[in-house]
Structure 1
């Protein structure tokens, strides 16, 4: 009974006071408070809703959103941004998670089928002033882990405009990007981990980053071109769906072999090394 009264008294505190109390906790303990009750969970799920007219303005809005986050005061500002942008009513949900992680997930109210597109991501970790028109005040929150989900031809320009924001990016994960046919990633040595999952239209992948320690891929096997050989700590290749096109030759897989040959931990799907009576690239992989 005494405990119930104490809980009731604590639960009656204003949200501002509860958020201030949480700010004194270590980050992991602070995050665990979201499991206490629906009220506490609501504090973490507060969402800022904005509308902007263009893709470029979307980049400004995300930059402004991140600038207000404080590592030492996790609930001092909403952790989620629901951003409506562009003429097609595109929707971006930005969610900040633990360990300097940012999830960016796109959707659109337009029923038009996304077009095929190519993507050139230059992660040079030097903010290009001309791309971001509004420079917010410095923040204690720096994005080190970035998840990009469901980026299509309707959202790729917005993401390209945002890339200069992520100066300290170390881990990039690209997931379920419909219509993405070619992907070029150029990065400084800061990028250490790259994962690409279920981008089913991807035909070519060009990597120009020198210090990757982890590379994980799941989907159809595209043409892969790497400009550096890595000493990977971890590699995972899941090409069980086969090549993206029927004209794939054994030599097309050679750049990937050079990339994974020194991996400390290597995970391959069965299809990648099974025998192929036609002499396709996978039987070559097995011999290598």
Structure 2
């Protein structure tokens, strides 16, 4: 009888252990416990098994949700995050408003805030202009919030939500990186960063027609979308620029409107550009007699060139641009078949002074279908510029290969069977180096 009684007691204890009481506790109580309790393996297990750090905190704003409510909710979400996040995991917040509208905020370490307006607001694609003023000196010293946001990413903002966002970010102290993406209806954008703003990205805003930027300390500018009008003022430290123009944004190009943009990027050290953009936008400007003689990208060391192919007319266009790049050290060419191209060919002169690219050390080529195209490019480069940098073929999922020139007696008949080259070559797999990793400028 006693033995049976013990078995009943053991079964009862096991059932109590198996029942999950912890996961039934409110999320905010669990968060507070984990914040103040030393993080041993048991504490970590609680957070992981309950999914605490993956579940969004849901806040219901209601029909009368206004700017002050929005700022208060986001402010409470941000305060003390880095200090009170023991697992170093992102946090999510959903703010539900009326009529099914809601805002998603996610917060990561190092003060990175993402604000996304994924539903409801997208039903209203009305066009709008947006003016963003960041890091004003007065607000920086008198911000009502005891925190700063270092990286701010804004997704799917439209004319209904831009007022909420603008009012909030005016109060942030020293945003260093601003990312604006997928804002349907955004027609014109004006960004002013008086201090500390060092990086700006404007990505995939399909209706955008004009961008005005004034940021004294801006170092990096990335744009992806259709060609639009740019005005870049007082950019004293601009070094890294990506102009990923997917195609023309206007029926008729007025080349003179892009002279200010050309001057603004003149002193950058890293540049990403589409081949068609040079041919149709910058090429006519640089072809003037004055620019041919006096204009140079004298500080450009790294060029990322995106094109639809490397046929003869595209090579000539690239070489025409390279004439102005006297300090170039690294050239990256990416062939993207889906990229915009135009049937008409603009003739470009490739008559250059020998040794103009004497600092060029490496050319990395990605997306080339035939080995012969890479070899022909190398021989054109040698003929026009009298340089022979290291040529590397980048292959997705496989090791990179280096193109080597070899003596004729070592070459196989197969290597020169279809095309007559001036020299003999072979491709050799190389050990991955610092240049082999995918660069953020590549598409």
Report the counterpart of residue 224 of structure 1 in structure 2: 230
The offset of 1:239, in angstroms, is 0.8
Relative distance call for 1:111 and 1:252 in structure 2 (3 A) is closer
In structure 2, how many angstroms separate the alpha carbons of the residues matched to 1:41 and 1:123?
Answer: 39
In structure 2, how many angstroms separate the alpha carbons of the residues matched to 1:149 and 1:80?
Answer: 15
State the SS of the aligned residue for 1:165: coil
Alignment of 1:61-210 (within 5 A): 61-67=73-79, 69-75=80-86, 79-85=91-97, 87-109=98-120, 112-126=123-137, 135=144, 138=146, 141-210=147-216
The offset of 1:202, in angstroms, is 0.5
Structure ID, larger Rg: 2
In structure 1, how many angstroms separate the alpha carbons of the residues matched to 2:200 and 2:55?
Answer: 30
Structure 1 residue ranges, 4+ long, deviating more than 6 angstroms after superposition: 11-14, 21-24
Q: How many residues align?
A: 257
5+ residue gaps, structure 1: 1-7, 25-32
Is it true that 1:51 corresponds to 2:60 in the alignment? yes
Relative distance call for 1:123 and 1:23 in structure 2 (3 A) is farther
State the SS of the aligned residue for 1:63: helix
Report the counterpart of residue 284 of structure 1 in structure 2: 284
The offset of 1:251, in angstroms, is 1.1
**Deviation digits for residues 146-198 of structure 1 (CA, Å, limit 9, x no counterpart):** 00011112211111111123212000000110000000111112100000000
Is it true that 1:265 corresponds to 2:270 in the alignment? yes
Relative distance call for 1:45 and 1:127 in structure 2 (3 A) is farther
In structure 2, how many angstroms separate the alpha carbons of the residues matched to 1:60 and 1:83?
Answer: 12
**Deviation digits for residues 123-151 of structure 1 (CA, Å, limit 9, x no counterpart):** 1345759xx9xx45x3xx52100000111
In structure 2, how many angstroms separate the alpha carbons of the residues matched to 1:128 and 1:282?
Answer: 40
In structure 1, how many angstroms separate the alpha carbons of the residues matched to 2:185 and 2:81?
Answer: 36
Relative distance call for 1:213 and 1:37 in structure 2 (3 A) is farther
Could you tell me the TM-score, scaled by structure 2's length? 0.51
**Deviation digits for residues 92-119 of structure 1 (CA, Å, limit 9, x no counterpart):** 1010012211111112336733210000
Q: Quote the RMSD (CA, aligned, Å).
A: 3.5
In structure 1, how many angstroms separate the alpha carbons of the residues matched to 2:77 and 2:283?
Answer: 50
Alignment of 1:209-248 (within 5 A): 209-242=215-248, 244-248=249-253
In structure 1, how many angstroms separate the alpha carbons of the residues matched to 2:112 and 2:220?
Answer: 17
The more displaced of 195-204 and 106-115 is: 106-115
The offset of 1:75, in angstroms, is 4.9
State the SS of the aligned residue for 1:84: strand
Q: Say whether the 8 Å CA contact 1:230–1:262 is kept in structure 2.
A: no
In structure 1, how many angstroms separate the alpha carbons of the residues matched to 2:116 and 2:154?
Answer: 6
5+ residue gaps, structure 2: 1-16, 24-29, 288-294, 296-443
Report the counterpart of residue 10 of structure 2 in structure 1: none
Higher relative contact order, chain-length normalized (CA < 8 Å, sep 6+): 1
Could you tell me the TM-score, scaled by structure 1's length? 0.76
